[in-house]
Structures are given as structure tokens and as C-alpha cells.
């Protein structure tokens, strides 16, 4: 599954709604011109047709059923197709931030179990797939804006049997006596989501509010931050009345990791987040290794 009739023509370099500066007819005309150019290109019949894709496999302890101390008794394997060519799109590869967030989620499975989860800028979908297959989310929406990325993301969901399509050659579970069932009770889908308030409002009408929103290595420029928080603010469930005095206020949480090279200062992320009523406390920041304060997981909550 590579296309959806509701997808709009948008690529990563458009940077959030810039495509609105052109009309639909302009886009259609441009697409036709691109197609004509491609048809007129000479073909080298001797060129090597290398497969641009690699396959990554990750194995995690099964946390679906509340067994936080699984100790490896049951393992689930996630299969992801990716590309190493960043010139195609940054969303076609597994980035370090998603691996960091997955480690956090495996160590804190209660954050996901039974929750409605949305991954924005999902790329190849590692965190969303893990939430669905390993952590027992009630529903998972894996989203991206880039059409090319969405095609690969939907392919990865099929590889992991999350879109009702599977292959006997691409099993998602370990082939040992500890094999876990490949069936997934989690409701999953992969719609397009371009960041920004107006599109988030439309998205909410179809998919509702979410308990947990995930974002990893998807903010490269400052221009992206405000549309991101507009989206999060619109789609995350509101803070509930709670007098217990702890951080778990019953409202939604936004988990954010940015380990990649970025020209957007973290201070700007925090400042804009604050404008929308979000803050990430130092007490909830999570690091992979004790004493190593690089690439933390930020837990954003509404503070007003």
C-alpha cells in the first residue's frame, strides 16, 4: 500500500503548508510536466539496478500483557524497510532518536499500554510499530506528511501485519519455542498528517484526541516547531482535574527526542512549547546511560 486517495502532494522540502502558495491546478500541471520529463529521459539498459532498500530487524521483550518483568521469555521482532540515501528523504531511514525513544518506552511500558498513540513525522515507523506490536497500545496512528515516506511507512506496517496484509516470508515474531502470536489486537492506520492547526482540526474530526504523541528527529529548522506544537496542542487530550500533586495529571503526554543535527536550538523548542502551555520538567527527562546527558527524552505536559 503506497498511496491513499486522501493524500495531498507534499514532500519534506515543502516545510509545512508552503505548498498552499500554489493552486491545485498548478500542482497538477507541474506533476504532468515532471512525468513528461521522466518519459523523455534516455534509458541506460546496461545500468546496474541496485535495490535501494535495506531491512532492519529489532527484537524486543513482549510487554503487551502487563508483564513488565518479562526477562526475555517472549520476544517480538520488528521488521523495517529503510533507505540509506538521505537525499531522497530524511524520513526513509531509522534515526538514533527513534531507537532512544523505543528504549525509554520498553523501560516504561505503562506509558503506552492501553493508550491511543499518535506518532508524528514517523518516518519508517519504529516507535509506532513498537507501540502497537510490543507495548499493547489500544490504537496507533503512524503519520507523516511526505508522500514518499508514507508509501514506505505503509509498507512497513504491512510487513509487521498492522494493516491486515502479511507474507509468510516476513514474519514479525521470533522463530523459537518462545514465539509470540503475530496477531495484533491494536487498531492501526497510517494517514497523512501535515503539521499545522487547520490540518490538525480536520485530522481530529476523523481520529479524535490522542493520549500519547511521539516525535523523534523530525525538527531540523525552527520554522517547523510552531506547526508541530499547533498539531500537538490540538490533538493531545487535555489535562484532567487532579489533586494528587504528582506529574501524572491524567492528561496526555508528548514525548520528544531530537538527536539529529539541527539548526533549531532546543531553547526555541522550549520557548514555543511554553507559548502553547507545554513544559518538560528536568525530573522527567530520561537518559540512556547514567551520567550521559546527551539526547534525552523530553516528556512534555500541559502546565496550564
- Per-residue confidence (pLDDT) for residue 210, from 0 to 100: 98
The C-alpha cell at 25 is 491546478
Tell me how crowded residue 84 is: count the other CB atoms within 10 A of its CB. 11
- Per-residue confidence (pLDDT) for residue 220, from 0 to 100: 85
**Is pLDDT above 50 for 174?**
no
- Residue 269 to residue 223: CA distance in whole angstroms: 10
- Per-residue confidence (pLDDT) for residue 144, from 0 to 100: 94
Least confident of 2-16, 27-41, 194-208: 27-41
Confidence of residue 65 (pLDDT cuts 50, 70, 90): confident
- Per-residue confidence (pLDDT) for residue 77, from 0 to 100: 94
- How much of the chain exceeds pLDDT 70, in percent? 70
- Residue 19 to residue 32: CA distance in whole angstroms: 17
**Is pLDDT above 60 for 218?**
yes
- How much of the chain exceeds pLDDT 90, in percent? 52
- Residue 101 to residue 218: CA distance in whole angstroms: 13
Q: Which of 161, 10, 148, 9 is nearest to 79 (CA)?
A: 161
- Per-residue confidence (pLDDT) for residue 68, from 0 to 100: 55
Q: Classify residue 143 by burial, with Cβ atoms within 10 Å: 0-12, 13-18, 19+.
A: buried
- Per-residue confidence (pLDDT) for residue 179, from 0 to 100: 38
Helix (H, G, I), strand (E, B) or coil at 17: coil
- Per-residue confidence (pLDDT) for residue 67, from 0 to 100: 57
Q: What is the mean pLDDT of the chain?
A: 79
Helix (H, G, I), strand (E, B) or coil at 99: helix
Contact, 302 vs 239, CB < 8 A?
yes
- Residue 58 to residue 79: CA distance in whole angstroms: 7
Kind of pairing, strands 139-142 and 278-280? Answer: unpaired
- Residue 140 to residue 93: CA distance in whole angstroms: 20
Amino acid at each position: 500500500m503506497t498511496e491513499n486517495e486522501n493524500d495531498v502532494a507534499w514532500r519534506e522540502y515543502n516545510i509545512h503548508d508552503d505548498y498552499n502558495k500554489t493552486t491545485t491546478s498548478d500542482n497538477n500541471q507541474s506533476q504532468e510536466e515532471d512525468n513528461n520529463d521522466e518519459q523523455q529521459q534516455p534509458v541506460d539498459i546496461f545500468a546496474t539496478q541496485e535495490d535501494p532498500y535495506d531491512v532492519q530487524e529489532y527484537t524486543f521483550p513482549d510487554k503487551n500483557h502487563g508483564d513488565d518483568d518479562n526477562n526475555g521469555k517472549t520476544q517480538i521482532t520488528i521488521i523495517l524497510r529503510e533507505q540509506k540515501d538521505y537525499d531522497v528523504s530524511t524520513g526513509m531511514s531509522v534515526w538514533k532518536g527513534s531507537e532512544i525513544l523505543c528504549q525509554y518506552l520498553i523501560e516504561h511500558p505503562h506509558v503506552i499500554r492501553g493508550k491511543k498513540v499518535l506518532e508524528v513525522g514517523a518516518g519508517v515507523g519504529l516507535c509506532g510499530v513498537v507501540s502497537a506490536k510490543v507495548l499493547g497500545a489500544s490504537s496507533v496512528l503512524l503519520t507523516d506528511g511526505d508522500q514518499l515516506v508514507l508509501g514506505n511507512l505503509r509498507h512497513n506496517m504491512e510487513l509487521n501485519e498492522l494493516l491486515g496484509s502479511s507474507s509468510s516470508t516476513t514474519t514479525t515474531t521470533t522463530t523459537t519455542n518462545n514465539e509470540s502470536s503475530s496477531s495484533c489486537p491494536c487498531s492501526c492506520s497510517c494517514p497523512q498528517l501535515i503539521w499545522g492547526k487547520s490540518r490538525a482540526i480536520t485530522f481530529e474530526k476523523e481520529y479524535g484526541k490522542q493520549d500519547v504523541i511521539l516525535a523523534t528527529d523530525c525538527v531540523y529548522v525552527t520554522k517547523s516547531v510552531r506547526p508541530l506544537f499547533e498539531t500537538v496542542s490540538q490533538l493531545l487530550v487535555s489535562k484532567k482535574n487532579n489533586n494528587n500533586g504528582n506529574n501524572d495529571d491524567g492528561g496526555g503526554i508528548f514525548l520528544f527526542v531530537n538527536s539529529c543535527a539541527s539548526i533549531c536550538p532546543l531553547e526555541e523548542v522550549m520557548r514555543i512549547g511554553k507559548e502553547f502551555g507545554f513544559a518538560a520538567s528536568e525530573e522527567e527527562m530520561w537518559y540512556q546511560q547514567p551520567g550521559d546527558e546527551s539526547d534525552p527524552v523530553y516528556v512534555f505536559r500541559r502546565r496550564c
